[in-house]
Structure 1
Amino acid sequence: MEENNPIQDETAEEYALTPEEEQKLISLAETIIKNWEVNVTSVEVVQGGQMAIVWKIHTTEGPICLKRIHRPEKKALFSINAQNYLAVKGMRVPGIIPNKNGVLYTKHGPFLFVVYDWIEGRPFELTVQEDLEFIMKGLAEFHTASIGYRPPEGIPIFTKLGRWPNHYIKRCQQMETWKLLAQSQPDDPFSQLYLAEADTFIQEGRDTLKRLLDSEYREWVGTVKATPNLCHQDYGTGNSLLGNDGQIWVIDLDTVSFDLPIRDLRKMIIPLLDTTGVWNDEQFNIMLNAYESISPLTDGQKEIMFIDMLFPYELYDIIREKYVRKTPMLEAELAEAFAYERIKSEALNQLIR
């Protein structure tokens, strides 16, 4: 099996390191790792760039992973302790190796550094049904295993429970604002198509908000607040592995927060279906059935999930890419996004009915 590191694939943030940059990162790792009781034989930069930095530390006892967390300290401490809670509980996440002082991390400058067990395995291939089912079952196991986590005293709780309505409102307002940017670009085909079509989908976003508020959403939020589960928030092939032990491992927990478990399902299912340009009922049902084989959902909970899936998140991301990140975008890309939102809306409305 191929080897993979226990970190999210952040290729979008990657760039080729010069020999000087690589040596500087190796020297940094050699300095940091002295805080751990390990016998280092060599250091390898696995992931450089501006985001999280990852090293594979070869030791006389085998490889371990050193990571620089690219998150504000309070958020990092929430996720570090969450990962340790899950690992100690027996959930298949990389275990955290405490430093010489018995602390789960070492602070150096503004950053926290953490050492993890190195996990050997391969990424999942989502065009293979067995892998698709495996990865969804792993998500369900992650959600159920995380119930009971509370951060240590003094560490803030990061939660998105109850905040979906505000997220919907904010995104609809942003899509309205981006119409003003589009109006300032009369010669840009992308912008002109956006102006011609945007109102329909902004209204759909507002309608989705009303449907969410009319559902059992607030009641479910209240129930989950009493015994919250973690959501990964970035689950997928980059953050899961089929280990050499034949088990699924969930990795890179930097973005975890408390939320309804179906938020992870939406983030996993909808982007995957979006790559095909059609609504694939078979693939949708395979994913949902695999998840429910471990963690069943009620009809009311599934309705909330379908409603959340209705919101034009994928379209929003494309428009944000254009007007916020200033990425050159083709008119055809926007047209495809509009077409998929229509297909998705028809399929989900049938499920809700």
Structure 2
Amino acid sequence: MVEKLIRLASSILKYWDISVSQIELIQGGQMALVWKIMTDRGPLCLKRIHRPEKKALFSIYAQDYLAKKGSRVPGIIPNKRGHLYTRQGPFLFVVYNWIVGRPFDLTVSEDLDWIMRGLAQYHIDSEGYIPPEGIPVFSKLGQWPNHYIKRCQQMESWKKIAAELPDDPFSQLYLSEIDHHIAFGRQTLNKLLDSGYTEWVTESLENPHLCHQDYGTGNTLLSDQETWIIDLDTTTFDLPIRDLRKMIIPLMGDQGEWNDDLFNRMIESYEKVTKLTEAQKKIMFTDMLFPYELYETANEKFGRKNDLPADELEKALTYEERKGKEIVKRMN
């Protein structure tokens, strides 16, 4: 399989004006493939993007915009025709500069500071991006209410699956506790609609920012005291605080308990680069109230059909209760 994928890379690289001396498969066995290429231009990265084409094109041109603007993302090497990608079958292939660096360790305060500042800089740098004519716009602006509704409906539907597993401790616990959290999720939707979210979305439609949607240690590197973002496949137009919630809340959950110092440090590090207004923080805190971690735990069990012990659900339930109390205190 490895040899086959090396041959695939070699055939694709003929579309670029580069001299290749070595090809190494870095990521294989999935829809997304990544190779490290040693060339006359130095090390480069060849990637087969696994996103649908319209979303892939939006992110490819976004990355090119950011790189040319001086943002810390790998530059894209055009092919012989001057295009940013080469299409083969249903897939798009792109060649990037290879970034040498190390992964972040979020248990180290300095690394946490770097990665949060890098996220803030990404949001600032993304301002002004307009996809070229003909490139579909990928945006989640204004879609949060629908996301809340869909997740609440899914948690409701999973009650039927749980009821069919009367001897399963996870399902028993789910049935005994989930109604309260579904109701809380719906209350959060009402809070969001009263929070100024709609007004911020309306303002952002005139001058949107990119939201990475999958920012974290797997898509970043620390290189020469700079935070580099090496994967932008999921980037969309959205409110930047979406990335903050996706960084902060799961990390807090991984701690096994609420850590006020960690919470404050992450927001303070982000605000070293760009400040959030009190109105924006209110919207962010409201979004953080939604029981995302509980939803993800239940989805692992009932959506993805993976066997989970009841104590995993217990942890998620306990975390949601503590998180809700702490966030509400910040909103008052």
Report percent identity of matched pairs.
63
The 3-state SS of whatever aligns with 2:104 is coil
Partner of residue 220, structure 1: 200
Partner of residue 326, structure 1: 305
The 3-state SS of whatever aligns with 2:95 is strand
Deviations 1:186-236 (A, max 9, x none): 111110100000011101100100100111111111111110000000000
Partner of residue 27, structure 1: 7
Q: 1:72 aligns with which of 45, 49, 52?
A: 52
What's the offset of the Cα at 1:62? 1.5
Question: Matched residue pairs, number?
Answer: 332
CA distance in 1, matches of 2:12, 2:239: 37
Superposed, 1:108-187 pairs within 5 Å as 108-187=88-167
What's the offset of the Cα at 1:324? 1.3
The answer to whether the aligner puts 1:96 opposite 2:76 as a matched pair is yes
Q: 1:286 aligns with which of 259, 265, 288?
A: 265
CA distance in 1, matches of 2:281, 2:59: 27
The answer to whether the aligner puts 1:307 opposite 2:286 as a matched pair is yes
The 3-state SS of whatever aligns with 1:133 is helix
The answer to whether the aligner puts 1:252 opposite 2:231 as a matched pair is yes
Partner of residue 47, structure 1: 27
What residue ranges of structure 2 are gaps of 5+ in the alignment? none
The answer to whether the aligner puts 1:61 opposite 2:55 as a matched pair is no
Deviations 1:53-74 (A, max 9, x none): 0000111332100000001111
CA distance in 2, matches of 1:72, 1:61: 30
The 3-state SS of whatever aligns with 1:122 is coil
Read off the aligned partner of 2:222 and give its amino acid letter.
Answer: L
Q: 1:296 aligns with which of 254, 269, 275?
A: 275
Supply the RMSD in Å over aligned alpha carbons. Answer: 0.7
Deviations 1:157-200 (A, max 9, x none): 11111110111011001100000110011111110100000011
Partner of residue 296, structure 2: 317
Partner of residue 18, structure 2: 38
The 3-state SS of whatever aligns with 2:77 is coil
Read off the aligned partner of 1:217 and give its amino acid letter.
Answer: Y
Deviations 1:33-55 (A, max 9, x none): 01011111111000001221000
CA distance in 1, matches of 2:52, 2:311: 38
Query: What is the TM-score of this pair, normalised by structure 2?
Result: 0.99
CA distance in 1, matches of 2:31, 2:319: 31
CA distance in 2, matches of 1:208, 1:160: 18
The 3-state SS of whatever aligns with 1:302 is helix
Partner of residue 331, structure 2: 352
Q: 1:211 aligns with which of 177, 191, 210?
A: 191
CA distance in 2, matches of 1:315, 1:187: 21
Read off the aligned partner of 2:244 and give its amino acid letter.
Answer: L
CA distance in 2, matches of 1:275, 1:51: 28
Query: What is the TM-score of this pair, normalised by structure 1?
Result: 0.93
CA distance in 2, matches of 1:62, 1:297: 40
What residue ranges of structure 1 are gaps of 5+ in the alignment? 1-20
